[in-house]
Chain A
């Protein structure tokens, strides 16, 4: 069982401590609080527990998923869970003792390197909680760097990301404004220019944006930099197999939700906050970083570095309070990119483009449903429905399909808008099944 100490062991050990019984060891806890009433359910055996939890899992309906909206279902090669579930990785702690943690440390160094390569940025951290918190910490870093107090975000930034930004900044005297969008579902560049000024710390650009459209990042970047503000880019990592990178449009910070890289959607958590930046800002980054050092024989070794930014050294003056991050999800991501390489990444990105565009065309051909295919998109797009999206979702659920995200949840004017995603997981047959099911509505 869980406790290996036998009663005999306990007796010997107690004698060694000099305590006459276990209660003597608990004497620090005031008597009035000790051994409270606890109404817990009966303990289950492993077999019973397993049956019980499997029963709960079975209460989730296995719908054919066409929802993205920040969490994306992608193919996970078997080698990933096989490797990352090894106890040597799974049950290690944060690599404080570097000499006995070279495995974890090297994987983090390789993760940082792969993220820099993928996003085309100079430096990356060991990971953050998720895309939303990584973005928020990047915005806070921009605030510290520029000394400015205004953050501008696109109206089409993921709604949860907006909320997290607000949670973290509302008591800091930081104000934030939303930049308008056009009827085509992209940022209104002229309106943005009018909103940027010498008080702007940063602009947060999400591309593809929440409704799936790719933004004109280059033009936006120039506008942002022309007022001395910083650009924080929020991207989809799989899209970067084909889509221009934050480094190419001169982003100062680039973050993403790294879940699509070898991690399941898992009801939205754990995510994987990927945080990258230009080299000049490395000392403003929150959280752990691994660097190359030498051991005393001069041999290459890996170690946690630049720790003077962190809470255990700087306490209240630290760049962030983050401690534990998402190391295991980062391990999944680095194994994923190692398996795919540059060719595999491009292939999966193209497959996403192909499937999503094929679905968009098929839906467009259905009377009553229209998709704006004029604005470039990656693997997600908006369907204008003849009835409220919430009703479409309900009817499609009955046919075993998770039809998409109801944009009416964001604003009532979009109540007929359905955000639909097709990754490489949706086969041509799945796409056909989707439009067939739509036809019955």
Chain B
């Protein structure tokens, strides 16, 4: 009985006549204000629940989630680090939450000042000349960045540049972004050491190249040691270097992208800057640009004129806006809080401990789950399981078995160049005991693979549902009640 109740949809719990909220009675009906042809004909099939029913329903649903607050979440490239509670409280202050985007600017100086200050702080940690806080997520930032590059080329180089070069280790969003921006995607293979193959890059570069998109550190968790040479190559053909900054947690305080020749980059405030992920957003993907590209960033950017903060910036070369209004302010506020709570030395310590934690896990699991590139990594390591052809146990099985041990799974089957990849990013906010417990679980799974592989292949065993047949959902999609 309990089990059935737990899995009911809200609409299945619905009973006609129940409700959670009432509003003041009106004297007239909708038909008194609107012509009959404009009225809604049938009632929407929404659930009818009391407030308490609703609270219990969603509370129970929340309990069927793994979350960072409760579990270790070693999801590579996602930077699941602790999100300080103060930021949640401060981002929800009524002064911010009730600020209307079209209110007179004199009435929203607090919001604008905060946004301006964050722009300035992001300039400092990256060395870039300007930032826009408008993009709503990382991929949205990528599109903003590539369209900014496009606007730059349209002005400086005509419209003959048609290609964007993307290494095979890039996030899937990179090629999809380049395509959305109207460019042809040129994929290049990585060198055997996991870094950019400079010869392949040289061969791909031409006067048709608009942008080279590079993730730094890359998705196998390695820094490009020849980044400066790569930047020079890119610039030598008149192209721009775009840095996907999703992994900036490994670099903050340690290096500034502008120093090694990055022209445009995005950051993920919901990764490096400790904003929570919310089950898949909202995020925030600010985009920065070097001085020669900055005029082409989308408007608006907050500027300071005669002691007043304003969105009325004068950048005639700016491309149009990327979304309505400004940016995801509730996330922007958290990013600002982060950069005010940690100074230069603390940021350095943060990045170094992110790197130390990843290397510690890598070292502890060596011999059982070896790193695909067996050398020191940055903030994440890409591990591989014992040969599945021999064991019959795949990475997907290991991921599900980890859930049984109380850990969320690493990012799996990514990057694509690593077969059966397990991409582990512990972040700096996990303590050694947690890392040791994770290592112990992985070792236990390793032993199970040798002695009782079926228990791994049948996992998970203790989750709200057993292993899901994902194909069954796509066959005859049921996407709504």
Contacts and interface: CB of A to CB of B under 8 A. Distances in A.
Contact of B324 (A18, A93, A164, A308): A164
A338 B40 CA distance: 19
Nearest to A283: B477
Contact of B124 (A39, A50, A86, A345): A39
Interface in A322-342: 322-329, 331, 335, 337-342
Interface string B253-293: 11110011000000000100000111111110000000000
Contact of A3 (B49, B104, B353, B408): B353
Nearest to A127: B281
Contacts of A77: 20-21, 51
A351 B86 CA distance: 36
B270 A91 contact: no
Interface string B373-406: 0001010000000000000000000011001000
Interface stretch (A177-185, A198-206, A221-229, A309-317): A309-317
Contacts of A146: none
Contacts of A65: 98, 100, 103
A337 B20 CA distance: 9
Contact of A67 (B64, B100, B121): B100
Interface in A84-111: 85-104, 106-107, 109-110
A243 B472 CA distance: 37
B30 to A, nearest CB: 4
A161 B322 CA distance: 9
A426 to B, nearest CB: 12
Bin the interface of chain A by size.
35 or more
A150 B343 CA distance: 51
Bin the interface of chain B by size.
35 or more
A90 B278 contact: yes
Contact of A267 (B108, B364, B429, B474): B108
Contact of B376 (A28, A85, A270): A28
Nearest to B144: A167
B108 A323 contact: no
A268 B324 contact: yes
A269 B327 contact: yes
Contacts of A18: 363
Candidate in A95, A266, A270 with the most chain B CB atoms within 10 angstroms: A266
Contact of A343 (B19, B69, B73, B185): B19
B158 interface: no
A248 interface: yes
Interface in B42-99: 42-49, 51, 54-55, 57-70, 73, 75, 78, 80, 82-84, 86, 88-90, 92-99
Contacts of A189: none
A293 B472 contact: yes
A91 B68 contact: yes
B17 to A, nearest CB: 9
Given A104-B279, A303-B473, A88 B69 contact: yes
B129 to A, nearest CB: 15
Contacts of A265: 97-101
B280 A93 contact: yes
A58 to B, nearest CB: 6
Nearest to A128: B136
Interface stretch (A118-126, A362-370, A433-441): A118-126
B176 A158 contact: no
Nearest to A300: B7
Interface in A63-92: 63, 65, 67, 69-71, 73, 75, 77, 79, 81-83, 85-92
A124 B479 contact: yes
Contacts of A317: 179
B344 A60 contact: no
A97 B408 contact: yes
A62 interface: yes
B421 to A, nearest CB: 13
Interface stretch (B199-207, B442-450, B457-465): B457-465
Given A40-B343, A73-B98, A267 B125 contact: no
Given A10-B353, A19-B376, A88-B63, A323 B20 contact: no
A93 B78 contact: yes
Contact of A295 (B70, B83, B344, B467): B467
Given A19-B376, A341-B48, A107 B324 contact: no
A353 interface: yes
A260 interface: no
A321 interface: yes
A403 to B, nearest CB: 9
A293 B480 contact: no
A415 B169 CA distance: 53
A268 B110 contact: no
A91 B97 CA distance: 20
Contacts of A62: 94-95, 98
B35 interface: yes
Contact of B58 (A58, A160, A322, A335): A335
A2 B82 contact: yes
A344 interface: yes
Nearest to B460: A99
B65 A44 contact: no
Interface string A1-29: 01111000110111011110010111111
B466 A46 contact: no
B114 interface: yes
B2 interface: no
Interface in A258-300: 264-271, 282, 288-297, 299-300
12 contacts: A4-B429, A33-B259, A99-B466, A100-B463, A102-B463, A130-B324, A132-B323, A271-B325, A311-B173, A314-B176, A315-B172, A325-B282
Given A25-B352, A97-B403, A324-B138, 16 more contacts: A5-B431, A24-B376, A28-B378, A39-B344, A49-B86, A50-B90, A63-B107, A79-B55, A99-B467, A100-B460, A104-B61, A129-B140, A269-B327, A305-B470, A326-B278, A350-B30
